[in-house]
Structure 1
Amino acid sequence: MKQKSFTSTNLTIEDKTSTYYFYTETIEVSGLSSIAFFEAGESYKGKRFYWQNREKTFTLVGLGHAYVIQNSLQDNRFEDIDSQWKNLCASIVNEEHELQPILFGGFSFDPLNQLESEWDSFPSAYFAVPSFQLVIRDDRVFISIHLITKDPNSQIAFDQLRTQRDDLIHAAQVNELKPYAKPVVSHLTERFKETYLDAVSHVTRLIEAKEAQKVVIARSLALQFIEEVSSPSAMYHVSKEQPESFVFGLELEEQLFFGATPERLVKVENQKALSTCLAGSIKRGQTATEDQQLGNELLQDAKNREEHQYVVDMISQVFEEYCEEVKVPKYPKLMKIRDIQHLYTPVEGTLKKGQGLLQLVQDLHPTPALGGEPRNEAMGIIRMVEQMNRGYYAAPIGWIDANGNGEFAVAIRSALLNKDQAYLYAGGGIVGTSDPTSEYAETLVKFRPMLRTLGGKLNG
């Protein structure tokens, strides 16, 4: 192992009367699987997270909690997380120029939705600095220890963390990764199916009455398994099933919110910002020829192009406010993943001075691809007709480091796992010409990735 320096600094956090000490140490190791490291942290169950970007150039695993930042605010929840994180990082003297401490977590889709649901343990915003942070970047593996404490004499506690770190590395390198079998589903329930079909009909009438231009309506499935499904098993299978997507997992108490989303909300690296406009979809073909025909059909479909343009216009407007040198391609491309193909347009820019990642996240969420257009009117209609709590589904999930670099994805193609149960979510954009039967069929395609991951089937 290549050991780097041990650094500490005094931090003044939100409580001005308290002085916190931030200790961090990073070593570089070799030959270590991210899933094996996640699995080795079973003693930290309920306090783990996992992230891998779509390009597979950056993987992040967190075990344990050095510090948690959360809130249950309806307003200013993004600013609160941003402010607390900046306060925590403000005085860091870190010789680790290659690797910074990372904060990981997510936000709920709609903090105004107060319906009781499977999401009751999740606050409006939930983020954590891990005690043990694994980063795999460009084939290099780094493991960091973080200790944030009020005790100025923490050498013994830090030495204990070093011992635990070495045990985790040894377990991840030496122990054979369990051969996880697919879960066995004993029962599947289509939750709120009739409510969903009625909602689509209702929304089309509201759009025809000019009360909105587009509204995204979602629905849910519930799976019952014959035995409990572990978080490492879920992360192992979703990584194998959807390698071309962002893979994420966030544990809270007994639950794991996880998924494989194709949709980047926004990435910031060295003041360069990138977002993905992803809206409009169609299934994959059985052959390459059929696949190309379906893709061309999607590119020429008026409804899908209309949906997509709402997203492009909105994201471009946000980038114009926060960025300079904004670049937007004139026409969308196709993004093809295992079960579905989407219309895709990247938007790029350079952040203006004083602007940051979480400010972009705040103003981009929800895009018209997940909420609708206009935003406020669409959100009001969703609250009225959807009759379920999306929780963290379709909301921002991701990370930000001490330098302000980071990435957030939109948490679609996702599920909430709770021991021997799981809840899956999918939705689609409704416009004036939408048909409930066709929209229902589209959600079936969007359920497939997580159904396959969890051993379930729907309509064959």
Structure 2
Amino acid sequence: MTRVIQAQFSLMVEQLARLTSESAPDQPLYRVELPLPAIALKGFLASQSIKEKAYWSDRDGDYSVATLGYSWSETLSSRKDISVAFANARTLLGSLPELSGARCLCYLSFSDNIECIWPSFGYGRIILPLVEVVESRKGHVLGVNLRSGNDIEWQSSLRKAVEVIQSLTWQQQLPVINVQTTLNGYMPSYNDWKEMIANAKNAFATAYLKKVVFSRETRLDINGQLSSWSLLHAWKQANPQSYQFWFQGDNEVFLGCSPERLVKRLENVISTEALAGTIVRGFDSTEDDQYAQALMNDRKNLHENRLVLDDICTQLASLCQTLEADRSHSIVKLRHIQHLRYQIRGVLNESVHDEHLLQALHPTPAVGGTPRHEAMSFIAKHEPYARGLYAGVCGTLSVQKSDFSVAIRSARLTEQSLRLYSGAGIVEASVAEDEWLELDNKIATVVDILSCQRDQKYNVQVWS
């Protein structure tokens, strides 16, 4: 099978070489595609040394992409840049035929407050891959996106694409997770956490704030080699109905396996959700159902979820021709926890685009709080670390389809440390000890993977 894959990549190089004798097409972007046999995307990316790579997969199993090199990218320094950057991406992608498979990847931080941003990633970025392998229900496709605004840009794109392909190695097997981790503290500490919640309750009493989401960074020191790709693969095995994302920063990566959708758009039809309210899973089906029933009748969690639902519907009302939400909540079950969810659907007004949706929805009260501005200010004042991309946005966008996830259940990995992120919605009825335990439950999947690394259930030496 590897020989067939190599042959298709070689065929792509031949096609690109032939294009060097032609003038730049009369359009800003040109795409070349070839079919591929099945390829293990995460294993394939793990073996590549190129720095410009990324990965994204939707939670429904419809679309995954492994990217190598950037054909075009735009860096965002604040929320104010969202409108122009996304319009630029839409214009570029709109120059391709309607059924083209090209999409951009993007990430946005939780906040554009300079003290909240991770320097190695900045506030946000939109990326059009140069070389990509796309996996969908129709099979695998090798795609190359070539900039063609002029002859110089055209020849440069062709040359860079050939260099990327010729530098590839063909190993697809993921490394074994073989590390020892040591807890190196929490930010905030438990005592600081209790004080933060007490401050929030004082704000609730004045009606200045209804809900705020506080979060925690759990710091682990690493002894050994931890492959981010192997971790991501095991994470997905544990929580299969989740988005996956992986982005490269300066000497660190941001990765995650999030159950939460921010918004998905197909033409002018959108779907989103209010995902808030949490309880643990049971040890067997009977206990699990009992916990689920308790969650569906818990006043504190129902209130928390309703605040999120009402805010999302309010934000979307002026952008949609029609908008409807489920009449009752449902349960989303993950490996260690389960959540309350309301699903929301709408039809957009004309001239409403992805940037309008992101400006309206991000960050939702599920990760920030309500009222939104007051909650964001409260977090900036009381949370003692930089969230960066945690609780931000990771997704894909194109003219026809876009899909954005909320970047929860995420981690930041350097050579010697792993930082895990979790948050809890704080309302008037919250208890500090219970919310701290919820933070533990939300990182339990990764802790379990690392502690059970030799278990057969986390054998990552397989195709992903």
TM-score (norm 1): 0.88
Aligned residues: 435
Q: Does 1:58 pair with 2:55?
A: no
Verify the 8 A CA contact 1:182 1:237 in the aligned structure 2: no
Instruction: Look up the equivalent residue of 1:135 and give its one-letter code.
Output: V
* 5+ long unaligned stretches in structure 2: 1-7, 454-464
Which residue of the partner structure matches residue 127 of structure 1?
126
* Other structure's SS at 1:314 match: helix
Q: After TM superposition, where is structure 1 displaced by more than 6 Å over at least 4 residues in a row?
A: 2-7
Q: Does 1:356 pair with 2:364?
A: no
Shift of 1:423: 1.1
Which residue of the partner structure matches residue 165 of structure 2?
165
Q: Does 1:324 pair with 2:321?
A: yes
> Structure 1, residues 71-100: CA drift from partner, whole Å, max 9, x if none?
212x4132132132134335x2x34x5433
Which residue of the partner structure matches residue 419 of structure 1?
415
Instruction: Look up the equivalent residue of 1:411 and give its one-letter code.
Output: A
* Other structure's SS at 2:286 match: helix
Relative to structure 1, is the Cα distance of residues 182 and 77 closer, same or farther in structure 2, using a 3 angstrom cutoff? Answer: farther
Shift of 1:327: 2.0
Question: For residues 357 and 133 of structure 1, what CA distance do their matches in structure 2 show?
Answer: 23
* Other structure's SS at 1:184 match: strand
Correspondence 1:13-412 to 2 at 5 A: 21-40=28-47, 42-45=48-51, 47-73=52-78, 75-90=79-94, 92=95, 94-95=96-97, 97-114=98-115, 119-148=118-147, 152=151, 154-155=154-155, 158=158, 161-162=161-162, 164-165=164-165, 168=168, 171-172=169-170, 175-193=171-189, 194-401=191-398, 403-412=399-408
Shift of 1:35: 1.3
Verify the 8 A CA contact 1:77 1:125 in the aligned structure 2: no
Question: For residues 316 and 267 of structure 1, what CA distance do their matches in structure 2 show?
Answer: 15
Verify the 8 A CA contact 1:63 1:131 in the aligned structure 2: yes
Verify the 8 A CA contact 2:59 2:244 in the aligned structure 1: yes
Shift of 1:263: 0.3
Relative to structure 1, is the Cα distance of residues 151 and 184 closer, same or farther in structure 2, using a 3 angstrom cutoff? Answer: farther
Q: What percentage of aligned pairs have identical amino acids?
A: 25
Q: Which moved more, 1:55-64 or 1:278-287?
A: 55-64
> Structure 1, residues 176-222: CA drift from partner, whole Å, max 9, x if none?
51342243213442222132221011111211221211111111111
Verify the 8 A CA contact 1:204 1:431 in the aligned structure 2: yes
Verify the 8 A CA contact 2:70 2:127 in the aligned structure 1: yes
Instruction: Look up the equivalent residue of 2:44 and give its one-letter code.
Output: F
Relative to structure 1, is the Cα distance of residues 159 and 71 closer, same or farther in structure 2, using a 3 angstrom cutoff? Answer: closer
Of 418, 430, 442, the residue aligned with 2:438 is: 442
TM-score (norm 2): 0.87
Verify the 8 A CA contact 1:185 1:456 in the aligned structure 2: no
> Structure 1, residues 117-138: CA drift from partner, whole Å, max 9, x if none?
8x22121111211111221111
CA RMSD of aligned residues (A): 2.5
* Other structure's SS at 2:217 match: strand
Instruction: Look up the equivalent residue of 1:64 and give its one-letter code.
Output: G
Shift of 1:279: 0.4
Q: Which moved more, 1:363-372 or 1:80-89?
A: 80-89
Question: For residues 128 and 156 of structure 1, what CA distance do their matches in structure 2 show?
Answer: 18
Relative to structure 1, is the Cα distance of residues 337 and 308 closer, same or farther in structure 2, using a 3 angstrom cutoff? Answer: same
Shift of 1:165: 3.3
* Other structure's SS at 1:450 match: helix
Relative to structure 1, is the Cα distance of residues 456 and 114 closer, same or farther in structure 2, using a 3 angstrom cutoff? Answer: farther
Relative to structure 1, is the Cα distance of residues 134 and 375 closer, same or farther in structure 2, using a 3 angstrom cutoff? Answer: same
Instruction: Look up the equivalent residue of 2:74 and give its one-letter code.
Output: I
Relative to structure 1, is the Cα distance of residues 250 and 454 closer, same or farther in structure 2, using a 3 angstrom cutoff? Answer: farther
Shift of 1:242: 2.5
